[in-house]
Amino acid sequence: MKARKSEILYRKAQEIFSGGVNSPVRSFKAVGGFPRFMSRGKGPWVWDADGQRYIDFCNSWGATILGHSPTTVVSAVTRAARRGLSFGTPTEMESELGHLIQKALPSMARMRFVSSGTEAVMSAIRVARAATQREVLVKFSGCYHGHVDSLLVKAGSGALTLSMADSAGIPASLAQRTRVLPYNDLEAIKDLFHREGQSIAAVIVEPIAANMGVIPPKQGFLEELRSLTQLHGALLIFDEVITGFRVAYGGAQTLLKITPDLTCLGKVVGGGMPLAVYGGRRDLMDWVAPMGPVYQAGTLSGNPVAVAAGLSTLSHLKKTSPYKALDQMTAWFVKNIEEMASEIGLSIRINRVGSLWTLFFNNAPVVDLTSVQRSNTAHYTAFFQALLDRGVYLPPSPFEAAFLSTTHSRAVLKKALQSIEKALKRLSLS
Ligand code: PLP
């Protein structure tokens, strides 16, 4: 059989990039086969280098909430690019975007733009450690906060799928300052604060976990984190890189009505361009240079083209408020999948919050990393490959969230459901 163009491109890329990719999960290592090299996207569709079309449920890992190449955003980006690609100076537009973010997430009284979620988290924990004069960080197993040294401990996302939840190259002295607890475990967090409350600088959490698949917080979990941190003089950092402007315009903190001290944003806020944000209480952000002694900077921070994409995306989201419709559409979609699986006799669990969802091949509730890891990953791989052949692109990993965009219409989803039914039936016969 003739090799596909993506396969040939992958071979060439392996001579250039480590593992042939610029981010590990893209390699398809978790699902086998070769990665599809995408050449264009429009709305809910992407086309690979061979011209095959897919309904995309990966959506640039959640960044493209308005679908691929939305006309308004592309026009804004084009106009900005014509004016200049980068100045390395403040611009009027970055304040406009900052103002929109401040209005949407009032907890972000002051903020900073950076270029990736990793950078946002790295900077937020530096501020937290400086402001509290403490060093210990608390995170939850299966949560991913970018490839920040201190937080690549029992990490989710690609680190989890590739069995590298604890990365090499991180000094033990640094990892020792990170405490890792099970997500949704109230007793564990109470116990830790009881023992070590005085040395904890911050608790960082994905308020709706989405990097071990989607795991909603149990009733009372985030509330307990809020009250314990307050009681012990520690800070609460919400990593809303996925949930910000995704589960609600004001992110998970608005949806769940919990106010963190610091917040990290990425993905949707940059409208598909490299832009991320960290920010929070004014007294904390005043620690950042030039106001204070915490150094953080970036040549391309607040890049005008990325800012134009973010501004246009958020303005559109604000104007159209698609969240209820996205929620209803995704609910309808996953209900159909659940019914199909039940008729076929396959055990699945779908966890969902708004347009954020994960299908686990699991016959018990999936509430934390331990239950996630009881899922049948061989089934996911077979399901993923069967769907790929039928023009549906899921995240190439059993432990990632899938996303709907505002362009995933009922007609498109019905088409996806036909392929999903065939893939599930094939699985039940294997
Ligand atoms: N935090 C969360 C919750 C994420 O999901 C990610 C990336 O997926 C990051 C941080 C890191 O963001 P980036 O990949 O832009 O560095």
Reported as a single tens digit per residue, the pLDDT across 238-280 is 999 999 999 999 999 999 999 999 999 999 999 999 999 999 9
Ligand 1 pocket check for 145: Cβ under 6 Å = yes
Beta bridge partners of 54: 46
CB of 61 within 6 A of ligand 1: the answer is: yes
In this structure, what token pair is assigned to residue 281? Answer: 């209480």
User: 248 alpha carbon to ligand 1 midpoint, in Å?
Assistant: 18
Q: What is the DSSP string of 298-329?
A: -TTTT-HHHHHHHHHHHHHHHHH--HHHHHHH
302 lines ligand 1 (CB under 6 A): no
Q: Is 191 a catalytic residue?
A: no
Asked whether the beta carbons of 205 and 137 are under 8 A apart, the reply is no
For the chain, give the mean pLDDT: 96
What pLDDT shows up at residue 381? 96
Give, using CA atoms, the residue closest to atom 11 of ligand 1. Answer: 146
**Collapsed DSSP state (helix, strand, coil) of residue 264:** strand
Q: What pLDDT, in 10s, does the model give residues 130-143?
A: 999 999 999 999 99
pLDDT at 430: 76
pTM above 0.85, yes or no: yes
> Which segment, 2-11, 36-45, 368-377, is predicted with the most confidence on average?
36-45
- Residue 298 clears pLDDT 70, i.e. is over it: yes
Which helix H or strand E contains 10, and what residues bound it?
helix 5-14
What confidence score (pLDDT) does residue 5 get?
96
* Distance between CA atoms of residues 146 and 327, nearest Å: 27
**Phi-psi label, residue 220: left if phi above 0, alpha if psi -120 to 50, beta otherwise:** left
Neighbours of 293 (CB within 10 A): 9
> Which pLDDT band holds residue 156 (cuts at 50, 70, 90)?
confident
Q: List pLDDT tens digits, range 215-238.
A: 999 999 999 999 999 999 999 999
